[in-house]
Structure 1
Amino acid sequence: MPSEPPPADGPRLPDELLLNQGLAQLHLGQLPQARASLERLLSQNPAHFDAHYLLATVLGQQGEMEAALRAFDQALALRDNHPLAHGNRAALLLHLGRHAEALQAYDQAIALKPDFAAAHFRRGVVLQALGQPEAALQSHARALQLQPALDEARQAWLALKAQLGDQAPQAPETPADPTQAEAGFDARDNQRAAAKYLSQVESLTTPADAGASAEATWQALAERGQALARLQQPAEAAQLFERALAIAPEGTMLPGLLLGALRSSMGWDQLPALQARIEHDLATGIGSVEPITWLLQSDDPASHRQCSRLFGERLLGAAAAVPLLPPTAAGPRIRVAYLSADFAQHAVMTALAEVFELHDRSRFDIHAYAYGKPEGAGMRDRLRAGFERYHEVHALSDAEIARHLREQQIDIAVDLMGYTEGTRLGTFRHRPAPVAVNLIGYPGTLGLDGFDYIVGDATLMPPGSERFYSEQLVRLPGCYLPVDRRRPIALAPPRQALGLPEGGFVFCAFSHPRKISPDVFAVWMRLLRQLPGSVLWLVEDSEATSQRLRGHAERAGVEGERLVFAGRARFDQYLARYTRADLFLDTLPYNALATISDALWAGLPAITCTGQGYVARGATSILQAAGLPELVTSSLADYEALALRLARSPDELAALKERVLAAKTASVLTDTPAYARSLERAYGQMVARSRAGLPPAAFDVPAESAGSA
């Protein structure tokens, strides 16, 4: 969790430093921090145009449209000849439904910048709303003349041409993302400002700067460290977090930031002491680490719940219990809404895509609420087609999204994000539906009021684990994680082309490197030492991280070149790589989860070691559902022995691969229709309890009986 900037009554900082700090924070998605920095700048210099302008951008992204409009008005009072400011102000007016004012603002923007393609397009949108389709068509045409790849303008133009009865011409073939065209500060501006801010903060935090207070210094170190972490320089970030932690007071998120940077940079020596410090913090009611980072380090499910609760309060603010929403009126179908920023090629969506498509539309009305900006095609288009109604809500505030769900009379709101990047958990503080569900997006409890159920299975959440969850447990009869049976697998290139030996044994561990714990890595190195010619195939996060892992290997007595790293690839090509490996090795305490499911889908056997928490039991659930319980171990010693035995037993491994391939068509894991029906039965029971006026309660979904619908 980002740190707060120094208070307004602290030492005066240069205007340019505060502006670039706000820009860097906006670039990092730290909207509350960016707002505080800019408001501090304006308290020092109320006539700073860029601060008003950038603050308006931040407020707009936070969903405070009226406040953003006032900030743009203040900016334009200082500099009326800024076309982007007029354009952004017009966009807010359009969002607020003030079409006549929006048209006037777009006209001002275009008068100042005649080649402002996005403004021409948006002007056409306004004209269409005002009932002037011919004029709107001309605006869209002008936008396309200026920027032929402006996809939104192209689609609007063709739709209007068809509506007006004209022959639609050939549309431009290359779509583009028009969102940056109207941004006050585009991505390049953010990158430049972030880099400039980093250099400024470096000078601010040197010992030679006697004017910087301890608070200002650790704050600046933390901000710079977070920027470096986002720029994939975790080792450098860790150094700054460590310096900041030495002078910061208790109660900051610095221990968690340092933990994340150390795990990403393979800085393993400091992990035990840092884990002990965070455990002490959690035990004393101090939330000093993000939940997703803590799952990488700890296998204590009680601390997972405490971490989620404390972080949720920090993220959303302490709040009274979320009020219950009266149940919706019974209708012919149950209305279910899935909420996420990741309706794209993402692990969660890859798992759920076919489930969305398989929902029984005679009994369920399925909605998507997408609050991430649209990106990519392919998977996104498939996901769109999988819903009856697909709502783009990234421009709405949390309260507005919740209100929209209530207006649609949604019965069940399903969160697919939890504490992952881009989350909008604040929506659930406004009770968007009578029933709220936590489903697979975050591997664990959210620790929040406002969520009624978490969906899993009996392996993931065994009897006795109820105390580790703030939600009521719903256990499906099969595996908690569904499988998309439409995943294509490309033809894999030969081993040599992938940097692998033709004859040596290939262990594969395609989890993100930050999941690699030193005790698991030590097992892997012992396996390589005992199997001459074998290699370990890993995911390349960055060249620096790969070199650090090779350094750890060499200190363990293994040649660094026996670690082979795979770069990014298209999804079907990524799946194909598994066909060139011999055995998948899981991580602990944070299992591979969707990655291990991918390996099995491609025919690669995988082994795991069962831990205590949700995230340490996920791979066990997957392997058992695939009919492969013998690949599950209960200790790292057994895990190592099993891997070594299989590597030395080619006949046993070959037979195992045949069973893995057979499981693609004959296992609980890949019976996606049964998963969809089980999930629907769970939804039906949740809604039935709600409509009967009963509180949420844990239950197990029975297996589907033969011949049932």
Structure 2
Amino acid sequence: MSSNLQQAADTLMAAIRAHPDDARHHLQLGNLLAGVGDWAAAEVCYANCCHLQPKSANLQYNWGVSLQELSRIPEAIEAFERALTINPGYAAAFFALGLAYKRLEAFDAALVAFDCAIGLDGKDPKPRLERGRTLLQMGRHAECLAEIDAQPDAFRADPEVQNLRGIALKHLGRAQEALAAYDLAIRARPDYLDAIYNRANLRLLARQFSLALEDFDRAHALKPDLDWLPGLRLYTAMHVFDWREVDARLAALLDDVSQGRRGVQPLVLECLVDDPAAHQQAARIWHQSTQAPRVAWEPAVAPAQDGRIRVAYVSRDFKPHPVAYLMAEVFELHDRERFEVIGINYGAARDDEVQARLRAGFDRFLDVAHLQDKQIAELCRQLGVDIAVDLTGFTEGARGGIFAWRAAPVQMLYIGYLGTSGSPLYDYLIADPVTVPPETRPFHDERILYLPSYQANDRRRPRPPTTKGRAALGLPETGFVYCCFNNPCKITPAVFETWMTILRQVPGSVLWVLEEDPRAAENLRAHAARLGVAGERIVLAGRADRDAYLASLRAADLFLDTLPYNAGATASDALWMGLPVLTRLGQSFCARVAASLLTAVGLPELIARDADDYVRRAVDLATRPGLLDGLRQRLRDGARDSALFDAPGFVRTLEAGYEAVHRARLSGAAPDDVRVG
């Protein structure tokens, strides 16, 4: 507090001592303290005012505002309601009451309050804007958009309104219109951080990496410590192989994690560093920042009359997506005499072959995107779900709030996210002895349901024939083809340097990688040249439809995996198509998935111990043709019958795990790790 303000405060306190029953002095001191952000002291002053003049609506309102600033929301609501009892036409009090109800997630009550404020003062845009934000929080995106678009041009021209409109459009899957709305907001207010950040995230989702990076850089210039921005900015740069200052930026992110700051999302950190302790801490920070506290309640689920265990798989990715491709046959093969299988889809209802197959594979498939997290959890409880399995984790669009509201007595995390949730939301993480060995067990907050093999697979996936020769794919007709179709963000400078070491030792070889941005191609070839490899030896592949992508794997000789974030579904695709995968064993869950797959398919010799071993094996396989031919033959002869692709066997062990966990819950036994198979 400045000397002038302190002098004013001293004068007012002296006046209060001289005239303690004069509410004006208490009010003036409260306003002064509120102006400098000392809400605790201001609240005392406003409370004194209200005791002296209990019939003043304005004083009750001020008291409510101070209570709201102190997060004493129920008391704030009482103060606003007293103000409205005194003055039912007090628009500002209705608006403040709506904000307070929003803080409690009492959204219906908030809407009523905002409607009253709008009815009393239709010229004030704030209640209408907050009404729109409330509708978004309720998942009523179409209604929010319709209400905005029904308003006069003057209201819709407000940059905050266009930003809100962009959010609604994004949730409705109308990405281009959402981008246009963000553009309008930013054009009207060039330093509008929220709109810039929202546009950056949408461009990232749309895989417009260079444009997204420009927006993240712009946001960084405005507010470098914005929640999650440092991690997303580096993550986006990795997609275009912009590795400037990567070591320093990664060190800063790790410092954020160690200090409990909101610098990096857990999925982003997994792509950057092989450190299970840091991953666990990042997950804990994310959970504490984004999810409500765990509901102190255990749902009492009546056993099904037919004796079956009810399992709900909860996801937004019941669509053309790696999780759907891997899990489709699991849903179909569950034993219907012992299990009822329910799909809870909070993604879009789609008219495509993938979702049609998935719908047919469940006993019940429910589209719930329009429901709030709490409502979805309540629905699961009404259905009598015994075990709810989250297939999304921390990936895009995840709704962990469903599990925060406790959808089932037993909640599990599987396959969508490779690692711990860092939270009490999930009772079990499904893993295997390779992905979570004893030495990394302490870095997982869940109990572990250990299966013999981690990854589910679909034997019904196609094995399309080759339709294009090497030349048509941009590859040389001769020479060894190393490939990696992992997302570019998984390719770290250290990984790429290792690959260039391999290419230098294998004359005529090329590296075939996924590329989605012209800037990425330019950067990657420049990195290769710096490491002594001609740029033309880096062959770039664009995205292709699924059959074309699978068929193209036949044109490669060896798939080179990444560390710290391994190939998962992509490695499975390669092995299914007969393409050997070389991986390097790390420490974290995500750095051990490919080793799990190779163990299950019977090719442990493709698991390297360290970088030197990885290089040696990659060079040997290129220069000793008999070695590679033998591996290919083993894949052709035995892959389908291996543990990796034994879908019926996988489902049997998964069901045994479900039954063991279910029995333990019913018996009241203390939960513990479970091993089956």
TM-score range for the pair, normalised by the shorter chain length: 0.7 to 0.9
Distance in 2, matches of 1:440 and 1:222, equals 29
CA distance 1:590–1:64, shift in 2 (3 Å): closer
User: Secondary structure of 2:244's partner?
Assistant: helix
Q: 1:185, 1:304 → 2: CA distance?
A: 31
In structure 1, how many angstroms separate the alpha carbons of the residues matched to 2:345 and 2:624? 48
CA distance in 2, matches of 1:193, 1:74: 12
Distance 1:322 1:462, change over 3 A: farther
Partner SS, residue 422 of structure 1: coil
1:484 matched to 2:458? The reply is yes
Please state if 1:192 is matched with 2:267: no
Shift in CA distance, 449/504, structure 1 to aligned 2, threshold 3 Å = same
The equivalent of 1:303 in structure 2 is: 278
Paired residue for 1:603?
578
2:301–2:384 CA contact under 8 A, matched in 1 = no
Aligned to 1:14: none
SS in 2 for 1:647: helix
Residue identity in the other structure for 2:443: F
Change (3 A) 1:51 1:547: farther
Distance 1:46 1:564, change over 3 A: farther
Match of 2:448 in 1: 473
Amino acid at match of 1:189: E
| Aligned partners of 1:251 and 1:286 also within 8 Å | no
2-structure distance, mates of 1:184, 1:299: 36
- Return the alpha-carbon distance in structure 2 between the equivalents of residues 185 and 604 of structure 1: 36
1:369-380 equivalences under 5 Å are 369-380=344-355
Alignment equivalent of 1:573, drawn from 544, 548, 552: 548
CA offset digits 1:62-99 (Å, max 9, x no partner) = 3266x9979978997979xx9xxxxxxxxxxxxxxxxx
Q: Where do 5+ consecutive residues of structure 2 fail to align?
A: 1-36, 38-64, 66-106, 157-167
Residue in 2 aligned with 1:526?
501
Match of 1:582 in 2: 557
Cα gap change, 1:228 to 1:197, in 2 (>3 Å): farther
- Provide the C-alpha distance between the structure 1 equivalents of 2:618 and 2:148, rounded to a whole number of angstroms: 66
Deviation at 1:529, TM superposition (A): 2.0
Larger Rg over CA atoms: 2
CA distance in 1, matches of 2:352, 2:599: 34
| Aligned counterparts of 2:324 and 2:603: Cα–Cα separation in 1 | 25
Taking a change above 3 Å as real, the CA distance of residues 322 and 447 of structure 1, as seen in their structure-2 partners, is: farther
1:595 and 1:549 map into 2 onto residues whose CA distance is 21
Q: Is the 8 A contact 1:49 1:78 kept in 2?
A: no
- How far residue 665 of structure 1 moved from its aligned partner, in angstroms, is 2.5
1:693 Cα deviation (Å)?
A: 2.1
Aligned residue pairs, count = 550
Identify if the C-alpha distance between structure 1 residues 687 and 240 changes in structure 2 by more than 3 Å, giving closer, same or farther: same
Q: CA 1:324/1:464 → structure 2, altered by over 3 Å: closer, same or farther?
A: farther
**Native 8 Å contact 1:591 1:616 kept in 2:** yes
Structure 2 CA distance for partners of 1:73 and 1:418, relative to 1, 3 Å = closer
Alignment of 1:269-668 (within 5 A): 269-317=244-292, 319-320=293-294, 322-329=296-303, 331=305, 332-477=307-452, 479-492=453-466, 493-668=468-643
User: 1:63 corresponds to which letter in structure 2?
Assistant: M
Check conservation: 2:309, 2:338, Cα contact below 8 A.
yes
Q: SS at 2:365's partner residue?
A: strand
Q: Separation in 2 of the partners of 1:665 and 1:489?
A: 12
Tell me which amino acid in the other structure corresponds to 2:137. Answer: Q
CA RMSD of aligned residues (A): 3.3
Q: Distance in 2 between matches of 1:185 and 1:366?
A: 28
SS at match of 1:268: coil
Spell out the pairing of 1:175-254 with structure 2 (5 A cutoff): 188-201=176-189, 204-205=190-191, 222-223=197-198, 225-226=200-201, 228-230=203-205, 232-235=207-210, 237-238=212-213, 241-242=216-217, 244-245=219-220, 248=223, 250=225, 252-254=227-229
Query: 123, 137, 143: which is aligned to 1:62?
Result: 137
For 1:12, the equivalent position in structure 2 comes to none
> What is the CA–CA distance in structure 2 between the aligned matches of 1:693 and 1:687, rounded to whole Å?
10
Q: Is the 8 A contact 1:369 1:390 kept in 2?
A: yes
Give the direction of change, closer, same or farther, for the CA distance of 1:387–1:237 in structure 2 (3 Å limit).
closer
Query: Residue type of the partner of 1:669?
Result: L
CA distance in 2, matches of 1:271, 1:615: 21
Q: 1:46/1:425 Cα in 2 relative to 1: closer, same or farther (>3 Å)?
A: farther
2:378 and 2:580 map into 1 onto residues whose CA distance is 47
CA–CA separation in structure 1 for the residues paired with 2:575 and 2:660: 32
Residue 330 (structure 1) shift: 5.4
Amino acid at match of 1:609: R
How big is each residue's C-alpha offset from its partner over 1:602-639, in whole Å with a ceiling of 9 and x where there is no partner? 00011100000000000000001110010001101100
- Tell me, yes or no, if the aligned pair for 2:175 and 2:202 is still in contact at 8 Å: no
Matching of residues 156-167 of structure 1 within 5 Å = none
What percentage of residue pairs aligned between the two structures are identical?
A: 39
SS in 2 for 1:269: coil
CA contact (8 A) 1:53 1:75 kept: no
SS at match of 2:439: coil
Q: How does 1:651-690 map to 2 (within 5 A)?
A: 651-690=626-665
Which segment is superposed worse, 186-195 or 493-502? 186-195
Match of 1:646, SS? helix
Q: How far apart, CA to CA, are the structure 2 residues paired with 1:640 and 1:342?
A: 36
How far apart are the structure 1 equivalents of 2:474 and 2:669? 59
Task: Give unpaired runs (5+ residues) of structure 1.
Answer: 1-6, 9-31, 83-178, 206-215, 704-709
Q: Would you say the 8 A contact 1:59–1:68 is kept in 2?
A: no
CA contact (8 A) 1:579 1:603 kept: yes
CA distance in structure 2 between the aligned counterparts of 1:689 and 1:411, rounded to whole angstroms: 12
The match for 1:131 is none
Q: TM-score, normalised by structure 2?
A: 0.75
Q: For the Cα contact (< 8 Å) 2:316–2:398, is it kept in 1?
A: yes
The secondary structure found in structure 1 opposite 2:411 is strand
Residue equivalent to 2:61: none
Q: Distance in 1 between matches of 2:383 and 2:303?
A: 12
How far 1:311 sits from its partner (Å)? Answer: 0.7
CA contact (8 A) 1:56 1:72 kept: no
Query: Which has the higher mean CA deviation after the structures are superposed, 192-201 or 602-611?
Result: 192-201
Q: Distance in 1 between matches of 2:592 and 2:148?
A: 54
CA deviation after TM superposition for structure 1 residue 686, in Å: 1.0
